[in-house]
Chain A
Amino acid sequence: MKRRFLTLHVNAAITISRIASWWVRKLGMGDGAALPGRILLWLRPGAITELSRGLPAVLISGTNAKTTTTALAREALAGSFQVISNDTGANMESGLAYALTRCGGVCSGKALGIFEVDEAYLPLIGRQLETKIVALLNLSRDQLDRVSETRLTSAKWRAYFQANKDVKVVANCDDPLVVYAANGASNILWISAGINFFQDARSCPECGGEIHFTTSDWRCICGFERPLPDIEVFENEVEADGRRIKVDLALPGRCNVSNAAVALGICQVLGVDLASAVRRMSYVSEVAGRYRRLSVDGRTVRMLLSKNPAGWLEVLDIVRDDRSVVVAINAQVADGRDPSWLWDVPFEFLQGKEVVASGERAFDLSVRLHYAGVEHSVIKDPIDAVKSCVSSELSFVGNYTSFQELRKRIDSSQNPRLARLHRLGDRISL
């Protein structure tokens, strides 16, 4: 094990950010990565490059499923590498910087960074790390007030790959905007990971013409077309390296088999045995609080997170058999200030269930549900919404901040000391 020389200054910055992280978690102000990371970068602006020297990095980006795919890849690779990862979903520069404090300048030859990266930050972060592999999942509309529109993101990714030819790309060949970006690279492994939301992909990123989709293929008359996949998904099997491997996950839904396929693509590029990788992935039963079952007032609540139309299509599949669903929509900065995307979600699928519209933007959701013909009640407070349900088992679907808020409130409701600290944290946040 090689010990890298770090100045006291960096170590001091790391220590301060760690203390900040401890307090952020104690006060219920977050998962303790973003703010401490910001402090670290403030005290030591070059910390990302400095701390990641000698650490080969795998980056995972896209609009949806970054956190879950990163969790699956992390677990799959943990048998072969000393993995360093941002496991709380903090995926901008600050989150990355804080995750890197864990390597603390000690990187063995077997160390590997596996990071989820916000789609808008991919080129910026990619350049600061020793990036070896980038996995691209999908691109669709999300937080349009903050992230640029999808075509612009795709073009920025493409330019990054064109300028960094040694980066290997693992990419979803079913999403035209991902393919357009990945084509900037020269070494690409294509995964058929599926696409469920076509509205952002209908016009060709090469020529602006119309892309024709069939069930498993797409092409434009300009010649831009779906590449042949190296890894394909069949129900709950993945075909990779010329053989079929059964993927038996604890995580629900077809989308997670696709996410596992992308994680397997990363494993294949790194030369990791795929069968044992799949076995390890089956241990993942929750991801940063998502899919976890919590108990509230005698009810079992399955926690789901969904932030945009494409994500909702996956969630509607997961809650298909549920009798009760609480949907909580916020529109804070981290959610995107404009919830007009609710109109792109086919909420009609919730008809016949007990549905409660909740969150700060419950009224926007309520109008949408009316037009989707979904009977529902409106209770803005998410805990009260959960408690109003008749069923003893239900799913809670929140977008980013409403999900985090409920998690935190359930934690503090079960621990009075925690509740006091969280109230203090709320006051500081205000």
Chain B
Amino acid sequence: MTEKIKVVSVLPDLLGTYGDSGNAIVASRRLALRGYEPELVTAVLGEAVPADGDFYLIGGGEDGPQAKAAQLLNADAALEAALDRGAALLAVCAGFQILGESFIGPDMNPTTGIGVFACKTHRFDGPRSVGELVTAPTPGIDGVPELTGYENHQGVTELLEGTIPLGMVLVGKGNNCGKRIDGAVSGKAIGTYMHGPVLARNPALCDYFLSLVVGKLEPLEDVRLERAHAKLYEERIKEAYKLR
């Protein structure tokens, strides 16, 4: 019997502006190729976020929809219940910001976040952070090489005492808080500023997440797919260092 894995794309119509749907596509396919039976649920505006998911994905978006998403998720305990139960979560950019303790709303005032990550985001008073981002993952993110993605945001995200980042910034800005770090890790939840989409750029990070959900994973047998991933990965890392 194959194991069913529920992948939940959270409010993609509010937070899914930067090709974020790709993360759900990549995660689902990499499960299917290993013999699991992924069920991709897109919890769009007006639909409840299921509480029984295994892997939650939330993406980036604009200020207005971001605030709306925070409001909806604050009013609904499903996501937090799932995380307490041990579900995994990937939150990117605007999605990462609202899962912190506070972020800046469209009215420029601090707005209460969901509190999955112990961090606070305010608005950077300088140019937007735009461009390639490369980080060295925090020890503990096992088997994952340097991460590559594309950032495009105005945030400064300060991690509160005890919160660990996803990676140390090698190229780009990331959290832009003066400490050369990107993202945050809290249990099986990971936040990052990396678009790309990040799981398509970093299949190793995708597999790391999936192993949090299903346990130890076999390498993929689809040689052509893995070769395509490897070519993209190598090219992006190389180009990012050139731009530095």
Contacts and interface: CB of A to CB of B under 8 A. Distances in A.
Contact of A342 (B19, B150, B235): B19
28 contacts: A145-B130, A149-B17, A203-B14, A208-B64, A208-B65, A208-B67, A210-B45, A210-B46, A338-B196, A340-B150, A341-B18, A341-B19, A342-B22, A343-B19, A343-B21, A343-B22, A344-B19, A363-B231, A363-B232, A366-B228, A366-B231, A367-B229, A368-B22, A368-B200, A371-B26, A371-B29, A378-B228, A378-B231
A66 interface: no
A365 to B, nearest CB: 9
A337 to B, nearest CB: 7
Nearest to B235: A363
Interface in B119-145: 130-131
A91 to B, nearest CB: 22
A370 B130 CA distance: 28
A152 interface: yes
A343 B21 CA distance: 7
Given A150-B62, A371-B29, A202 B45 contact: yes
Interface of B: 12-14, 16-22, 25-26, 29, 44-46, 61-65, 67-68, 130-131, 150, 152, 195-197, 200, 224-225, 228-229, 231-232, 235
Contacts of A202: 13-14, 44-45
Nearest to A146: B130
A342 B150 CA distance: 14
Contacts of A378: 228, 231
A364 interface: yes
A10 B22 CA distance: 51
A144 to B, nearest CB: 6
A199 interface: yes
A370 B225 contact: yes
Contacts of A210: 45-46
Contacts of A248: none
Interface in A336-359: 337-338, 340-344
A312 B147 CA distance: 29
A203 B18 contact: no
A211 to B, nearest CB: 9
A363 B228 contact: yes
Interface size class of A (residues with CB under 8 A): 20 to 34
A338 B152 CA distance: 9
A151 B197 CA distance: 22
A225 interface: no
B45 to A, nearest CB: 4
Nearest to B243: A337
A200 interface: yes
A209 B20 CA distance: 21
Contacts of A141: 17-18
Contacts of B17: 141, 144, 149, 199-200
Contacts of A371: 22, 25-26, 29, 200
Nearest to A212: B46
Contacts of A363: 228, 231-232, 235
B33 to A, nearest CB: 10
B170 to A, nearest CB: 18
A209 to B, nearest CB: 8
A144 B68 contact: no
What 6 A-B pairs have minimum CB-CB distances, sorted nearest first?
A343-B22, A340-B19, A343-B19, A202-B13, A363-B232, A149-B62
Nearest to A341: B19
Contacts of B229: 367
A368 B26 CA distance: 9
B195 A338 contact: yes
Contact of B228 (A152, A337, A340, A370): A370
Given A202-B14, A363-B231, 17 more contacts: A144-B17, A144-B18, A144-B152, A145-B131, A151-B64, A199-B17, A202-B13, A203-B45, A338-B18, A338-B150, A340-B196, A343-B19, A343-B20, A363-B228, A367-B229, A370-B225, A371-B22
Which residue among B224, B228, B229, B231 has the maximum number of chain A CB atoms within 10 Å of its CB?
B228
Nearest to B225: A370
A343 B25 contact: yes
B13 A203 contact: yes
